[in-house]
């Protein structure tokens, strides 16, 4: 399904947006998409599989040359056949392997690493999937709070990228992120 915008808040003149649909279906107006990868960076199921299928074999060839990526970090490549300039591969934590505080630290860390790479490559728009909330088993409501507060903190610095999208695949993920956004808007007095 082509992504549809469902919600949006303004943070320091930047835009934090909730979308629903398939992250591989954006056009070139979104300069980069993030992938929820594993530390081998050699592909997998879920959104990783969808991104590699859409991007074609050039993406895997480029990923092979990177030699993997530790949990909590990110790596950037071209986007193969996708219309974006880059794919940023994020390795989130497997929720059951650590205590909740350590998982939250690593999840925030991979979002921040992706934002740094985007800024270093002159990107102004970046779309994320809900990292770790599928195969990696991160509870949706907790992951939504971590993701949204990390993205809002980035926007509050005033640095690029200034347009951040979280792309939710199903209704449960969308609901969890809408609730977390409502909480964030109240806590930080943001404009919806």
The catalytic residues are 48
Min dist CB 36 to ligand AR6, Å, is 3
Choosing from 18, 32, 37, 117, the residue that interacts with ligand AR6 (CB under 6 A) is 37
Token duo for residue 60: 């895997």
74 binds ligand AR6 (CB under 6 A): no
Give phi and psi for 137, each to the nearest 5.
70, 20
Stretch that binds ligand AR6, among 80-88, 153-161, 167-175, 178-186 (CB under 6 A): 167-175
Q: What b/e sequence results for 157-166 when a residue is b if at least 16 CB atoms lie within 10 Å of its CB, and e otherwise?
A: eeebbbbbbb
Give the β-pairing of 32-37 and 86-91.
parallel
Cα–Cα dist 138/144, whole Å: 10
Stretch that binds ligand AR6, among 7-15, 33-41, 59-67, 80-88 (CB under 6 A): 33-41
- Interface size with ligand AR6, residues (CB under 6 A): 25
Token duo for residue 172: 């449960």
110 binds ligand AR6 (CB under 6 A): no
Subset of residues 85 to 104 that bind ligand AR6, contact rule: CB under 6 A: 92
Q: Which helix (H) or strand (E) holds 106?
A: helix 100-120
45 binds ligand AR6 (CB under 6 A): yes
Which one, of 160, 156, 59, lies nearest residue 118 by Cα?
A: 160
User: Which residue's CB is nearer to ligand AR6, number 111 or number 169?
Assistant: 169
Residue ranges binding ligand AR6 (CB under 6 A): 22-24, 36-38, 44-48, 50, 92, 129-136, 167, 169-170, 173
């Amino acid at each position: 399904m082509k992504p549809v915008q469902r919600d949006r808040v303004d943070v320091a003149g930047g835009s934090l947006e909730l979308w629903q649909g398939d992250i591989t279906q954006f056009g070139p107006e979104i300069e980069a998409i993030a992938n929820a990868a594993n530390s081998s960076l050699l592909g997998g199921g879920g959104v990783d599989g969808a991104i590699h299928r859409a991007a074609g074999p050039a993406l895997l060839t480029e990923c092979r040359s990177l030699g993997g990526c530790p949990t909590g970090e990110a790596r950037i490549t071209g986007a193969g056949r996708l219309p974006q300039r880059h794919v940023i591969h994020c390795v989130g934590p497997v929720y059951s392997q650590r205590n909740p505080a350590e998982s939250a630290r690593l999840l925030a860390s991979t979002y921040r690493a992706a934002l740094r790479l985007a800024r270093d490559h002159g990107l102004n728009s970046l779309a994320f999937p809900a990292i770790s909330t599928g195969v990696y088993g991160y509870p949706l409501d907790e992951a939504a709070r971590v993701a949204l507060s990390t993205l809002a903190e980035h926007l509050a610095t005033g640095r690029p990228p200034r347009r951040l999208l979280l792309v939710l695949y199903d209704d449960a993920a969308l609901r969890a992120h809408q609730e977390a956004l409502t909480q964030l808007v109240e806590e930080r007095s943001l404009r919806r």
